[in-house]
Structure formats: C-alpha cells, structure tokens
Structure 1
C-alpha cells in the first residue's frame, strides 16, 4: 500500500506529470516516485574552509538515505562565514544571512513539497537557520553538525583561528608585526570545519544535540572524523524513519528542550549569540518560551563544567574525547528535563542512561565545577531596559563593577581610529551606538574594536557598551553587547553623550546611564527623525522587516505569548 506522503501527487494531474517528466530525465524510477523524498540542505561555499568539505558529505548521505528507502535531493543555500562574508558593509551581511537561509530552505523544500530534511550545518549562522527552518516548516528534520577544523603550530606553540582573530588587533599597537601575523595565518587552520573553540558554531552544534534535533553523540566532532561520518550515516537512515513515524520538529522543540539547551550553553560558557538564535528558533517553532528569561533564571543554578578555549585552557578536541555533548548532558542530568524527545528516538533520559564520562577533569561533575559564577549574564537598567549581555569566562578576570565617563562612537571605524590615535583613556566607558539590527542594519560586528583595545593594553582598564554584536569566539575585558532597545529605535544608548557617567555591575546585573530624566528628555526632543530604509537590496529589506532581539531578530516574528502579555 502506498504511504500517504505529501510528495505523492495524484497520478494524471498536471503537477504529477510535470514532475514525473523532470525526474525521469534525472534517472528516477516509478518506484522512486512513491518513496519519502528527503532534502539534503547543503549550506556550502567555496569561499571559506568552514564549508569546504560539505560537498563531499552529500554522496555518502544520499547513499544512506537510499539504503533506508528514501529518495534524496540536494538543496543549496547561502553560506555566510564570519571570516569572509564580514568584509562587505562592515559585517552587516552576517546575521541577516541566517534568515536568508531560512527563506532559501522554505522556497526549495516547501515549494517542492518534500517530506523531510537533513541539514548540513557548519559555520555560525547555518545551524540556527536550519533549526529555524525546521520549526517553520515542521517537517521531519535532522541537523548534522559537520565538525570543527584542525588547528596548527606556530614556532612550536599551538595556534588556531581564534589566535589570528585576536592577534590582528595587536598589529596597530606594535605588539606583533605584519610579517608575524602573516606567518601565523599560514599555519593556524589545518583543514575544513568551523573554528576550533567554543564560539557560536560549536555552541550551536552542541545546542542542536541538547535540543534533541541532532543524533545523539554527534557534537562536537572533528570535521571528516569517524564520528562525523557515523553521524552522517545515522542521519541518512533515521530521517526516513522519522518521515514514516511522522515525528515533527515541534514535537521536539518544546519548552523543556529549550530549557535543556540553555542549561547546556551555560555549563560550557557558550557564545552570547546563542540567545538570539535560540529565541529565533522558538519563534519559528511557535514555542512559548522566553530564552533571555531562561538565561536569567538558570544563571545562578548552572555552574561551569568545562573550560574550552577561549573560556579556559582546554581545546575542543579534548572536550570531544572526554565524551562531548552526551558526557556534558550526563553530568547535567539532575538539572535537565529528561523526558524531552529526540530525533534519535529514545527520550533524553534513556539516551543518557548508558553514557560514561571519559575524563571528569575536562567535563566536571556538578559537585566539582570549574566555577560557579554564571557564564552568560543578562543585565538590565536605565541604559538597557530590554536587556543586554555580558560573557564571563572560567577565570573571569574582567572587572565586575565599572563606573566611568562615556566616550561615544557611532561606528567601529571611528572607534578604531581613536584607539590608533591614542585618544582612548583608562577609566572610560566606550559606547558604540547605532550598530543594532536596524541601525547597522544587521548588527555591526564590534569584536575588532575590542581586540584593538586589548592590543593597546587597554582591555582591562575600560568598559565597552554597544548595541552591535560580538564574536562568539573571543571576548576580552568587560563588554556589554546587544543593548536593547537599540539606538536607532529610540533606545537610551542613542542619548549618551561624551562625559556622561555610566555604571555597570555584573553581580547586580545592572547597566545604568547616570543622567537625570529631564536632560535625557531634552536630548530626545533634539534627535532627528529616523530615516527609513529604502531600496531592494537584502540589507534594506532586512532593516524594514527585522523584529527586536526579544523576538530573536526574526523577520516578521512575534513575541511568545507569555512575553507579549507582560
């Protein structure tokens, strides 16, 4: 009996005949026409090493899908790399491309009425985009994390892409030469895959498994390593079963699953970018959950159990060898919702029953953590009524309280020039405003400014506050990012003037502008009216349509009901 699949069109209809003609020309048979039709979402690009191995994964994945009784179709999408795509428009294309990928997937998979998806995730924005598309389309989906890159050696010492990112900020101050940086860049990356640190990519790969949307034991993995290839085969086989069983993402992307993901990110001191990405996934999946609220609620409960670079001295391959995400979840199990569903099949608690931690010094138990302070702190106050984010590492050597006069910049380049001229002084609070979702648009990348401060020896002696975004890979010093509401939409950050006193208190989770209300009201009256984005370019479309961070910065998104009601 023919399975009732949405891809099985009624024989004799126009769309059945047109598709049959196209697919017969491609070698598909009459038997193939009634099998589950699976999209292989390949966010591949030859522009960056992050994606350079994805095309080689497609053929083995197709074979696994065919052997399980499905018919695979490769679908390609945009593939942004923070290292490459950030060159144009000061990095403004990076975040908006996440949503472009979601639309790419919708057009291809929904337009063709395919039955399920296996998504090949790599650099930062691909994993959240794939999860968002899964939530939007609500078709059986498995996300395959395609691994992290091998690192290198520089003059006998370990070096990786994170070091290149950081050391580039040291050239202007003369701490290293251009020739030294050039030599480092030639040996920092030893193969394909994402950055080998606890940046946004590995954080989101881990989050995929914690959510139950990746196969158990598949994150993080060495790119082209045995575990990656095993995950590819398992996903190809399992996706056909998920279609047969009609297991859909919204059954997995529940409030309990998001709680588990937030708990996991806090335990590894994951990327601050996970907040907006997980919220965006929740919005697309129509799950009533407030991700920032979960980070605030769980901050005091979840200790740091591992210190993967840049948060500590461990490397991501040590974390994988210690048991990876399953071992971390095992250690966290008293804090998790163990009845959460997974694409693997068994509930989370069942999957963890047989898990062993290979090295409890790398992935610590709850009773013996590396640190007990919260890894990611949501701060609020008169300067950020809707919240902002601070990242804390294991050592947590940034100041916990800071009060000083503001020095305001309205672009990353303006700030970099001031550092180079020696104008930035110790004790100042450096404000980069107008870099938010609409003001940039797309959230300007401000990490280069932070690294330049570090290179100038100022990182520990100033604070940085911005409505832009920061790299999930490296943050130095006391940095308050993603201030909301942003300056371009009337947020208080746009009212700050040079010399205004600003106070940041990490323990109290506050960030305040110490200027009286009457003065701020007068400044607000003098502000020019915002200029609406015009044109058909992607950034103009994004600026007109993007929602606030509380909605995950989605296009046309909406707040979860419980948040909207407040």
Structure 2
C-alpha cells in the first residue's frame, strides 16, 4: 500500500534495517507494504487491573491481519492505583500517565508505525494513551479492557472500593485487621479495573464520548465475550482508519471535549477526569479550557445514573442498561452530534441506533435522578485558579461550612493527628504541600479521608487539599486539587492553625478569611521551594510539569 509513512524508499538504510529485523520475525515481502499497527499493551502481572491484557492481544492481532494490516505489540508502563501508590505516598501515580504517553511516543513514533490500538485498563492508562494519540496524531482506537468481577463478604456484595474505604476504618480502630483481611480476600474475583464509577470506568466512558473508542464498547466486563468482540471490532476498524487517514486531531475537537464533560457530569464521574481531559486537549493541540467547561456545563447537565460510590447501582447494571451508548443517547439534547468518531460516523449517526435497556438505571434528561452538579468547581481567595468537589447523587452531606483550620503537611502527619485526637468536629483540615511541585507528583490523600470516616468525623469536618483524590472517594466534603498549590506560593501554603476557612459548594466559593496584609507577611517568610536535582522520574517530573490549568502535562 503506497502513501504509508512506514514504507521507506527501497535500498536505503532504514528500509534495509527494518527488512532484516522484520524478516526474522516472519514477515513476508507482501507484509512489508501493509499498514503497520501498534498494539499498545500496558500489561503487568503486578496487579489484577492489567493481568488479563495479554489475553486480548492474540485475537486483536488476528483481526488486524484479517483486515489487511500487520500488528506489532509494544509495551508500556502499567501503573495500578492499588499497587503503585505504595511508594512515595502515591506520588508516582499521576506522573505515570505522562510516562505512558512518552513510552508510546518512543515505540510508535520511533518506528514510524501507521496506526495504533491501545489497551486501556487502570486509571492512568486511558489518559496516557489518549495523550499519545493527540501528540502523535496517527489513527488510533482506544479499547477499554473491562471492569473486574466483585465478590460477597458475609452475605453482602463487596468490591475493591469497600476494601479501600474500610482500610481507613482499621487505621482508627473501627474495624479489625482480621475483618479487613477477610473482606480483601473476596472483594475482587477476577481481572479488570475497579468495579465502581472511579477514574478508570469514568475515563473509559469519556473516551467513547470523545469519539475515540468503538461505539458501545464501554464499560464492559473484563474477559467477557463482548470485551473480546469489541477488541476484534477495533482491530478490523483500525486498518480502515489508516486507509481513510482519520486522525485523532480531527476527532478531538472542542465539541468532542464538551461531549466528554457532559457525559462525566451525567454520571458524577471521577474528579480526575478534569485534569486528564485537559491534558489530552493540550497534547491534541485543542484550545479548550476543560475546567471552564465543567463550570459552564455543570448547572445544565442533570445526574442520570447512580453507580457506586455515587449510589447503589453496580457497574454491571450500568452496562446491562446500555452503557455509554445509552447514556449518550439520553444526553442527545445536550451533545454536539456532528462530532466525528473512530467508527467513521458522526456521534448523531452512531446514537441513532442506540437504545436504553433500563431507564431506571440510566434516566432520561427530563426525568433525572438529581439536578445538582456531579462535579463542582469552586474558586475564591483560597483557590484563585479553582478546586474540585465531587458530589453524590443523594448529595445529603454538608455543602456549606465555616470553621478553623487544622493544618498538616503530609498524609501521615494528618493520620497521626486523627489518631491523636487533634482533629475535632467543626475543623477544616488542610493538607498542604501535596501538589504537583510540592510533593512532587501530587500525593494521594484518599486514605486520610477514609480514616476520618472511620473515626466518625466524615460528616463533621471538611478537607481542603492541593493533593489528589481517588476517583472512588465520595465521603464527606472534600475540596481537592486546590490551585495554585501551596508549595509554589498559593494561598493554601499560607494557612495557619486556627485561620477561618469557609466553603459554599452551591455558591462555588472557597475563601480564607485572613487579611491580605497578613497573607503577604506570611508569604515573605516562606522559604524558597528547593529545586529538584536528582535523575529520578519524580525529579524530572517536578522540573518539567505544567500547572493544572494545562492538565499537569510536561513542558507545556
């Protein structure tokens, strides 16, 4: 096939070198001229999130070959929020997203392959793969590789989210180690991503709303017949996509991001989607302010589904009700239906054939579960550039609060404060210095929030932090990703014990009630942030990471 970037002029050094290598791999003369397709496999036996991805590769390869392409499997980093978060207080998690994007660039751009199918699983793989798609701008399809089956604990449904939550209860003595061990041993009964509306399932659905996944492919049970069928469908379609030269930057338009934000709001998806979608937009060269989109669309988009931790529904019920296609079908009055998709049809054409199997699970726009925003962006003197609040469908917790600050500069320090009885009802607990540069890498603060819940303080205190939260966190009032971060001179770094902080979620306000002149005095006393000097990944990240407004991308 002529016109492929992978086909080099005969007789040259690059042509000769790859001919020698690929002949040794069993490629024929005919294969040398076919579209070369990367299968980006973030496989790992370190966590069940990724342990099944190797099983997806053979049928996907066969589908690509049958469609007239030549598949090449390439590997990337495979960070699991459940496992990789153990080191450096979880600070490797967010930076791993950008490592994945660069892994893909090195393998696919270095080899000048023609297109790629990416196998998306745990939280950071999907945005990392979408970022690479936008950066390289070669035909790409993202395949969501499914959620994990859950288990039963003492006669009740249990999943990984419950283990995550109750670990915080052990930290405060509200649950025994033996009980937690029993729960953990049965919560996950197979491979795949967490079985709730956390970051992984939220981003899989957002990817379909962007038009970058095959219609009807998310969410899906890992290793199910449907998952394999969707992967094979993507394998056949990617070869056509290369021939049509339909590229990610033609799909990742401002309208596509509006559609994705609308979908995330309608399911009260993970707050992490805000920065991930912004990062994808930056890499795709799309001039869109994702946080501003959340602010604009939040009052207009009703909540249509209540999958755990937002309500009592399970992710398998959401899939059975029609999944992302049913959700988007219900949202049609709010979507840009002219947006192209990897399917080759517009979003409107795709949704014309969609159905909703259960409107009690995925409600219509005119009969929503709730009308308050699933994700609220707050601003004010404590967050001039914004912060995010996750809200459940019931939304029956505290939404307006004013209290004295109790300041901690690490998750461990905060946990010790809970155990020592320092945190009291009415406090606004500030976890500062945990942002992109201060940690560096943005520390996870979810364990602290769950420990508060275990201590019986979840509804009587507010947490304000420049760190990040797990997409599964939905306990109490938590204001996360405060920007600018405290370590670079943001107001959060100027808060002292006893300062009055007020938050009003409905009014979208977060204020520090301290006179400006006092804040300037404190700012003048701050020591400079030490420059990272090492060669480790977190040092490299700290030297190059951009602010959250740019999606925390590197060098941008």
TM-score under structure 2 length normalisation = 1.00
Report the alpha carbon displacement of residue 261 of structure 1 after superposing the two structures with TM. 0.2
Say which SS state the counterpart of residue 171 (structure 2) adopts. Answer: coil
| 1:382-429, Cα deviation, whole Å (9 max, x unpaired) | 000000000000111221100000000000000000101111110000
Q: CA separation in 1, counterparts of 2:84 and 2:106?
A: 23
Shift of 1:174: 2.3
Within 2, Cα distance between the matches of 1:202 and 1:384? 28
Using the alignment, how far apart are the partners of 2:272 and 2:408 within structure 1? 23
Kindly indicate whether the alpha-carbon contact (under 8 Å) linking 1:450 and 1:476 is maintained by their aligned counterparts in 2: yes
> Does 2:256 match 1:251?
no
Pairing of 1:43-62 with structure 2 (within 5 A): 43-62=42-61
Residue 526 of structure 1 deviates from its aligned partner by 0.6
**Residues 1:154 and 2:122 aligned together:** no
Question: Paired residues, what number?
Answer: 556
Aligned equivalents of 1:145 and 1:161: distance in 2? 19
Q: Kindly provide the CA deviation profile for residues 70-108 of structure 1, in whole angstroms up to 9, marking residues without a partner as x.
A: 000000000100000001111110000000000000000
User: Could you state the TM-score of these two structures normalised by the residue count of structure 1?
Assistant: 0.98
Q: 1:173, CA displacement in angstroms?
A: 2.6
Which aligned segments of 4 or more residues in structure 1 are displaced greater than 4 angstroms? none
CA distance in 1, matches of 2:156, 2:528: 53
| C-alpha displacement of 1:308 | 0.2
Secondary structure of the 1:118 match is strand
Give the secondary-structure state (helix, strand or coil) at the position aligned to 1:471: coil
**Cross-structure match for 1:164:** 163
CA deviations 1:99-133 (Å, max 9, x no partner) are: 00000000000000000000000000000001000
1:255-274 mapped onto 2 (5 Å cutoff) = 255-274=254-273
Answer whether contact 2:172 2:455 (CA < 8 A) is retained.
Answer: yes
Rounded to whole Å, the distance in 1 between the matches of 2:138 and 2:74 is 15
Aligned to 2:460: 461
3-state SS of 2:339 partner: coil
Question: Residues 119-134 of structure 1: matches in 2 within 5 Å?
Answer: 119-134=118-133
Residue 392 of structure 1 corresponds to 391
1:484 aligned residue: 483
Aligned counterparts of 2:101 and 2:480: Cα–Cα separation in 1? 25
Which residue number in structure 2 is paired with residue 561 of structure 1? none
Which residue pairs with 1:411 in the alignment? Answer: 410
- 1:483 alignment partner, SS class: coil
Q: Is the 8 A contact 2:310 2:474 kept in 1?
A: no
Aligned to 2:433: 434
Deviates more, 1:220-229 or 1:495-504: 220-229
User: Contact 2:139/2:245 (CA < 8 Å) preserved in 1?
Assistant: yes
Partner of 2:362: 363
Partner of 2:528: 529
Q: How far off its partner does 1:530 sit? A: 1.4
Is the Cα–Cα contact under 8 Å of residues 41 and 74 in structure 2 kept in the other structure?
yes
Equivalent residues of 2:302, 2:368 under 8 A apart: yes
d(CA) in 2 for partners of 1:462 and 1:244? 57
Where structure 1 has 5 or more consecutive residues not aligned to the other structure, the ranges are 558-566
Please give the alpha-carbon distance, in whole angstroms, between the structure 1 residues aligned to 2:200 and 2:244: 30
Alignment of 1:496-511 (within 5 A): 496-511=495-510
SS at match of 1:171: helix
Q: Secondary structure at the match of 2:442?
A: coil
Aligned to 2:545: 546
Is the aligned partner of 1:301 residue 2:305? Answer: no
| Separation (CA, whole Å) in 1 of partners of 2:356 and 2:377 | 31
Deviations 1:118-169 (A, max 9, x none): 0000000000001000000000000000000000000110000000000001
User: Is the CA contact 2:392–2:474 (under 8 Å) kept in the aligned structure 1?
Assistant: no
In structure 2, how many angstroms separate the alpha carbons of the residues matched to 1:6 and 1:261?
31
What pairs up with 1:96-495 in 2 under 5 angstroms?
96-495=95-494
Deviation at 1:331, TM superposition (A): 0.4
The 2-side partners of 1:172 and 1:284 are apart by 40
Q: Residue 482 of structure 2: SS of its match in structure 1?
A: strand
Cα distance per residue 1:241-286 (max 9 Å; x no partner): 0000000000000000000000000000000000000000000000
**1: distance between equivalents of 2:253 and 2:528?**
41
Between the aligned partners of 1:360 and 1:478, the Cα distance in structure 2 is: 29
Contact 2:35 2:242 in 1 (8 A): yes
CA contact (8 A) 2:42 2:125 kept: yes
1:207 deviation in Å?
0.5
Residues 38 and 72, structure 1, Cα contact 8 Å, conserved in 2: yes
What's the CA shift for 1:3?
Answer: 1.9
**CA shift for structure 1 position 488:** 1.1
Query: Is 1:27 equivalent to 2:32 in the alignment?
Result: no
Partners in 1 of 2:6 and 2:553 — Cα distance?
29
Aligned to 1:12: 11
Aligned counterparts of 2:495 and 2:335: Cα–Cα separation in 1: 42
Q: 1:354 offset after TM fit, Å?
A: 1.5
* 1:332–1:365 contact (8 Å) kept in structure 2: yes
Aligned Cα RMSD in Å? 0.6
Could you tell me whether the CA contact under 8 Å between 1:450 and 1:475 is conserved in 2?
Answer: no
- Distance in 1 between residues matched to 2:396 and 2:162, nearest whole Å: 19
SS in 1 for 2:71: strand
